[in-house]
Amino acid sequence: PQNNPQQAELWVELKWQLENLVRVAKKHQTINYEVPANATPRFAGHKPHDDLVISLFLLMRAAWNIKNPEGRRASSFDREHI
């Protein structure tokens, strides 16, 4: 993306978000990933956010679902004997 300044900026921002990503354990054994609001900004006026890295994770998940269609099948259990 170095030939296009807008793409280069997005790439630098994505790398920054990945480097500042933290894992946060929540109640009920869930885990969230986020860039904390107190992360050191890239430049003056930069507001830390995690939109690009979350988009990357969603894209990776979609690619996995395309490659492994059996992995995305919903499953259910027999409720008659409950």
Structure-model confidence comparison of residues 64 and 20, the more confident one: 20
pLDDT at 82 over 60: no
* Rounded Cα gap, residues 72 and 63, in angstroms: 11
What's the rounded mean pLDDT across residues 9-16? 93
Query: Helix 51-67 vs helix 5-20: angle between axes, to the nearest 10 degrees?
Result: 90
* pTM, rounded to two decimals: 0.72
What is the tens place of the pLDDT at every residue in 28-63?
A: 777 888 899 899 999 999 999 999 999 999 999 888
pLDDT at 77 over 80: no
Handedness of CA 42, 46, 47, 49 (dihedral sign): negative
